[in-house]
Amino acid sequence: MTEKPVESLKRSEAEGELARLAADIARHDRLYYQADAPEISDAEYDALQRRNAAIEARFPNLVRPDSPRFRVGAAPVDAFGKVEHKVPMLSLDNAMEDEAVRDFLARIRRFLNLAADAPVDLVAEPKIDGLSCAVRYEGGLLVRGATRGDGTVGEDITANVRTIRDIPQRLLGDSPPVLEVRGEIFMELQDFQALNARREAEGQAVFANPRNAAAGSVRQLDSKITASRKLRFFAYGWGEADPPVTGTYSGFLDRLQTLGLRVNPLTRHCKTAEELIAYHAQIGTTRASLGYDIDGVVYKLDDLRLQERLGYVGRAPRFAIAHKFPAQQAVTQIRAIRLQVGRTGALTPVAELEPITVGGVVVRRATLHNEDYIRDKDIRIHDFVVIQRAGDVIPQVVEVVKDRRPTDATPYDMPDRCPECGSLAVRPEGEAVRRCTGGLVCPAQVEARLEHVVGRDAFDIEGLGKKQVPQLLDADLLKTPADLFRLTTDPVRRERLEALEGWGSKKIEKLAAAIEARRTIPLDRFILALGIRFIGEANAKLLARHYGSLEVWRQAMQSVAAGDAEARAELADIDGIGPKLVDAIAEFFAEAHNLDAMDDLLTEIEVEDPASPEAGGSPFAGKTIVFTGSLEAMTRAEAKALAEKLGAKVAGSVSTKTDYVVLGADAGAKAKKAAELGVATLDEAAWLEQAGAR
Nearer to ligand IVH, 91 or 340 (CB): 91
Question: Does 276 sit near ligand IVH (CB under 6 A)?
Answer: no
Rounded Cα–Cα distance for residues 675 and 630 (Å): 18
The window from 89-97, 109-117, 493-501, 567-575 that contacts ligand IVH (CB under 6 A) reads 89-97
Rounded Cα–Cα distance for residues 249 and 268 (Å): 11
Nearer to ligand IVH, 234 or 589 (CB): 234
Nearer to ligand IVH, 298 or 584 (CB): 298
Question: Which uninterrupted H or E stretch holds 640?
Answer: helix 636-645
Q: Closest approach of Cβ 130 to ligand IVH, in Å?
A: 7
Enumerate long-range contacts of 48-51, CB under 8 Å, 24 or more apart: 48/21, 48/24, 49/25, 51/3, 51/6, 51/17, 51/21
Nearer to ligand IVH, 72 or 96 (CB): 96
Q: Closest approach of Cβ 322 to ligand IVH, in Å?
A: 5
The window from 98-106, 125-133, 560-568, 574-582 that contacts ligand IVH (CB under 6 A) reads 125-133
Site residue total, ligand IVH (CB under 6 A) = 13
The window from 37-45, 62-70, 100-108, 121-129 that contacts ligand IVH (CB under 6 A) reads 121-129
Contact 539, 533 (CB under 8 A): no
Shortest CA distance to 299 belongs to which of 131, 105, 99, 97? 105
Of residues 128, 185, 189, 527, which one binds ligand IVH by CB under 6 A?
A: 128
Rounded Cα–Cα distance for residues 164 and 149 (Å): 19
Residue 224 annotated as catalytic:
no
Rounded Cα–Cα distance for residues 50 and 490 (Å): 53
Q: Which residues contact 130 (CB under 8 A, 6 or more apart)?
A: 184, 185, 186, 187, 210, 211, 214, 293
Of residues 6, 18, 26, 92, which one binds ligand IVH by CB under 6 A?
A: 92
Closest residue to ligand IVH: CB criterion? 132
Question: Does 236 sit near ligand IVH (CB under 6 A)?
Answer: yes
* 3-state SS assignment for residue 230: coil
- Whether residue 326 is preceded by a cis peptide bond, meaning omega within 30 degrees of 0, is no
The window from 84-92, 155-163, 495-503, 634-642 that contacts ligand IVH (CB under 6 A) reads 84-92
Of residues 17, 29, 66, 125, which one binds ligand IVH by CB under 6 A?
A: 125
Nearer to ligand IVH, 237 or 345 (CB): 237
Q: Closest approach of Cβ 378 to ligand IVH, in Å?
A: 30
The window from 66-74, 120-128, 242-250, 396-404 that contacts ligand IVH (CB under 6 A) reads 120-128
Shortest CA distance to 511 belongs to which of 527, 500, 526? 500
Question: Does 317 sit near ligand IVH (CB under 6 A)?
Answer: yes
C-alpha of 631 from chain center: 34
Q: Closest approach of Cβ 233 to ligand IVH, in Å?
A: 11
639, exposed or middle or buried, with CB in 10 Å at 0-12, 13-18, 19+? buried
* 3-state SS assignment for residue 142: strand
The DSSP annotation for 592-622 comes to: HHHHHHHHHHHTT-EEEPPPPHHHHT-TTTT
Of residues 31, 63, 90, 538, which one binds ligand IVH by CB under 6 A?
A: 90
The window from 85-93, 162-170, 416-424, 527-535 that contacts ligand IVH (CB under 6 A) reads 85-93
Active-site residue, selected from the candidate residues 4, 10, 86, 127: 127
Q: Closest approach of Cβ 277 to ligand IVH, in Å?
A: 17
Chain positions 448 to 507 lying near ligand IVH, rule: CB under 6 A, are none
Question: Does 272 sit near ligand IVH (CB under 6 A)?
Answer: no
Chain positions 283 to 302 lying near ligand IVH, rule: CB under 6 A, are 298
Chain positions 170 to 189 lying near ligand IVH, rule: CB under 6 A, are 184
Of residues 30, 64, 69, 127, which one binds ligand IVH by CB under 6 A?
A: 127
Of residues 40, 241, 306, 322, which one binds ligand IVH by CB under 6 A?
A: 322
Give residue 471's region: left, alpha or beta (phi > 0; psi -120 to 50): alpha
Rounded Cα–Cα distance for residues 512 and 522 (Å): 20
The window from 124-132, 223-231, 423-431, 555-563 that contacts ligand IVH (CB under 6 A) reads 124-132
Give residue 260's region: left, alpha or beta (phi > 0; psi -120 to 50): left
Nearer to ligand IVH, 211 or 434 (CB): 211
Q: Closest approach of Cβ 296 to ligand IVH, in Å?
A: 8
Q: Closest approach of Cβ 83 to ligand IVH, in Å?
A: 16
Shortest CA distance to 331 belongs to which of 403, 414, 410? 403
C-alpha of 669 from chain center: 31
Q: Closest approach of Cβ 300 to ligand IVH, in Å?
A: 7
Contact 109, 102 (CB under 8 A): no
Nearer to ligand IVH, 183 or 260 (CB): 183
Q: Closest approach of Cβ 148 to ligand IVH, in Å?
A: 6
Give residue 156's region: left, alpha or beta (phi > 0; psi -120 to 50): beta
Q: Distances from the Cα of 515 to the Cαs of 242, 461, 523, 597, in angstroms?
A: 71, 6, 17, 18
Nearer to ligand IVH, 90 or 350 (CB): 90
Catalytic residues: 127
Binding positions for ligand IVH, rule: CB under 6 A: 90-92, 125, 127-128, 132, 184, 236-237, 298, 317, 322
